[in-house]
Structure formats: structure tokens, C-alpha cells
Amino acid sequence: MQNFDNNSDWYGSGSQQMYGNAAFGQGIMYPYVRRRVRRGCFSCLSTIVVLIIVAGVSIGIFFAATGGNNPLTFFTANSSTQVSERTVISATTHPKIVLNNSTGFVQVHAGSASNQIIAEVIGGSNDFGDTSLPYTRGSDGETITIDAGNVVDGTIDLTVPATSDLKIDTDGIQVVGVRGQMSLTSPAGPITITQSNLTGKSMLDNNGGPIFAIQDMLIGNVTLSNNGGVITFSGTIAPNGKYTFDSNGSMVDVTLPATSSFHLDVTGNIDTFTSDFPGISMPNSDFGGGEIHTNVGTDPSATVTMDLNGGPVVLHKQ
């Protein structure tokens, strides 16, 4: 989400310019100049006094409006890194976490606690004045549904047990270090998942934004689907699973270990297909049709399926 640490340091550089004194004239030749300068100094002094009075009145009004808070503290509390809402939720060691009504960016990462969820809102505005995110607990005791309907522009940060099932539909998603069944959906923003295990019937579904699954393991029946955006996967696949890459018109880039064993099915409109694994060739077709059905490695038990509608495909061996 990259250890996807989005924090970065910005360093500014200052410069100084020195100006020499320029003579305005000889005062003895133009005595009226000195009188005009004296009036100008008085005018500047008057202006400074007025500005001090206006600033004092403004600060007084600000203190009254903010309940007597320090203005510097007030502005710091509303900076983009400030946590405006925080909720601590007790959970099982394998919770099912559902995030509803989210429209912004969501980042999820595994925490040190195995039975606790921490939901925070970073930055943005808090028009409803809430200090915590509302949630409900399912009758099974495992399902936690968090409502993000009151979050405006802020980033939702979820610290979850290392084993957690996730169901999130929002503009952008980043998941780091989580194992579980996941349903991650975005209308067009990025979906990034790293150092994680996707288990069961997991689905990453995007409508044009990129999907990046890096240093992950797929276990079970996992699908990565994109309608117009790239799909990039680099990781491992467990035996006896089915792993589907469904792309409508964009690139599919898959990297697997050299020791991988799997059955490969490629169907649909194949644009170009490039593979580092031996024995895989592009079907004979002048119009992007054809299919590929072949085995890679010895005694393959996993199945890799690519359902394509144009766009290049690259299968790397690592």
C-alpha cells in the first residue's frame, strides 16, 4: 500500500538576498525630501498601530469562536495527519470485518493484538461531530460491521487481527499483512494488497483502476477481475486451488516461482501472450482468438485461468 508507508519527508530550502543601500539624493539640495520622509515614517507607524489593533481584535474573535483554544493548537488538530475519529472494538481471533458506506481511501494492516480492531479516521472533515465510528456486532459474534457514512474526505485506517476476513467496497484500498477471505471492490481506484494470504473464495474486483497483489499467496478459489485496468500479481499459489485472472482490455502481468506446478487455461480474445515458462506458445490466430490449455511443472494440481478480452499477457518465472 510498498511497505506502503505513505508518509514522506519534505524538505524546503530557503534563500536570502542582500540588498545594498541606494542614495535618494543629497538632502541639502532638496530639503523638502526630508519632510516627505518624516511624514512617510509617521504614516508607516500609524499603519502598524492599526494592524496591531485589527490583529488583536481578530485573535479575540477567534478565541471566542473556538472556546478559548489556542489558535495554533486548533489548526494542528485539523491537519491532514490528525486522527479525528477512533473506535476500539473487541473481536475474536478471526473476525469478519465489513465496512459499509465508505467512499474514500481505506488502509488495512495487521496489528499486534489478536482480538482487537482499531478503526481510525485520519484527516478530512467531521461534519457530524462524531469522535468514533459506529459499528454493529453480528449474532455469530464474529462479524463486525463498521459504518463509514459520516466520513468526509478522510482516510479510514483499520488495524485488525492478522487473520481477518474483509469485505470492503470503496474508492481505494490498501491491505498489508492480513490473512483471510477478502472481497475488495473499487469503482475505479487502486486496489493494492501486499504480504498477505487470500484464502477461500476471495475476490479483488475493479472497474478500471489498477490491481496490485505483491508478495502474496493465493489459497483456495481466488479471482482478480478488472474492467479496463491492469492486473499485476507476484507471489505464490497453493496446490489444489483455482486462480482466475479476468481482464477486459488491459494488461495481465503474473509472476510465479520457477518451481510452480499448475494447469493453465487461457480463453477469450488473446492479444499477445508472453511466457518465461517453457512449452507455452501463442495460439495460431490472426484475430486474437484461440485458446491455450497446457500443464506447467510436474504433477500440477492447481489451475490458473485467464479469461481475456484483449490486452497483453505476461507470465513471468521467478
At residue 30, the pLDDT reads 33
Question: For residue 11, which amino acid is it?
Answer: Y
What mean pLDDT is predicted for residues 153-181?
96
Cβ 108 vs Cβ 165: under 8 Å:
no
Same domain, 217 and 124: no
In this structure, the answer to whether residues 215 and 146 fall within a common structural domain is: no
- 308 & 203 share domain: yes
Instruction: Please tell me whether residues 140 and 207 are part of one structural domain.
Output: no
| Helix or strand run (H / E) with residue 315 | strand 312-317
Is a pLDDT exceeding 80 seen at residue 94? Answer: yes
Rounded to two decimals, the pTM is 0.73
Report, as an integer, the average pLDDT of 209-217: 98
State whether 166 and 205 are in the same domain.
Answer: no
Residues 228 and 297 in one domain: yes
Q: What is the pLDDT of residue 232?
A: 98
Look-up: residue for cell 479471482?
A: 223
Q: What are the backbone dihedrals phi and psi of residue 44, each rounded to the nearest 5 degrees, phi first?
A: -65, -40
Rounded to an integer, the average pLDDT of 172-181 is 98
Burial class (CB within 10 angstroms; exposed 0-12, middle 13-18, buried 19+) of 1:
buried
Question: What residues contact 58, with CB distance under 8 A and at least 6 apart?
Answer: none
| Structural domains in the chain (count) | 3
Asked if 89 and 202 sit in the same domain, the reply is no
pLDDT tens string 180-197: 999 999 999 999 999 999
The label of the residue with cell 490473512 reads: 179
- Statement to judge: residues 302 and 191 lie in one domain: yes
Where are any strands of DSSP class E within 209-270?
211-226, 231-237, 242-247, 252-256, 262-269
Chain-wide mean pLDDT for the chain? 79
Average pLDDT on 282-286 reads 63
Residue 12 binned pLDDT confidence (cut-offs 50, 70, 90) = very low
Mean pLDDT throughout 119-123?
91
Do 227 and 154 sit in the same domain of this protein? no
| Residue 2 resides in a domain | no
pLDDT-derived band of residue 123, with 50, 70 and 90 as boundaries? Answer: confident
Q: What percent of the chain has pLDDT over 70?
A: 70
Does the pLDDT of residue 225 top 60, yes or no?
Answer: yes
CB contact at 8 A, 179 and 238 = no
How many CA atoms are closer than 13 Å to the CA of 98, on its beta-carbon side? Answer: 11
Would you say residue 25 lies in a domain?
A: no
Position 281 pLDDT exceeds 90: no
| Secondary structure of residue 301 in the 3-state scheme | coil
Residues 115 and 224 in one domain: no
208's CB contacts (< 8 A; 6+ apart) are 187, 188, 226, 227, 228, 229
C-alpha 313: how far from its chain's center? Answer: 26
Residue 21 has pLDDT above 60, yes or no: no
What pLDDT was estimated at residue 298? Answer: 87
Kindly state the average pLDDT of the residues 144-150.
93
Asked if the structure places residue 246 within a domain, the reply is yes
279 or 156: which leads in pLDDT: 156
Q: Are residues 94 and 119 in the same domain?
A: yes
Average pLDDT over residues 71-83: 44
Q: In which band, very low, low, confident or very high, does the pLDDT at 279 lie, cut at 50, 70 and 90?
A: confident
Residue 190 cell numbers, joined: 487502486
Lowest mean per-residue pLDDT among 79-93, 180-194, 299-313: 79-93
Average pLDDT over residues 268-291: 79
Query: Based on the domain organization, do 127 and 216 belong to the same domain?
Result: no
Domain that holds residue 155: 82-170
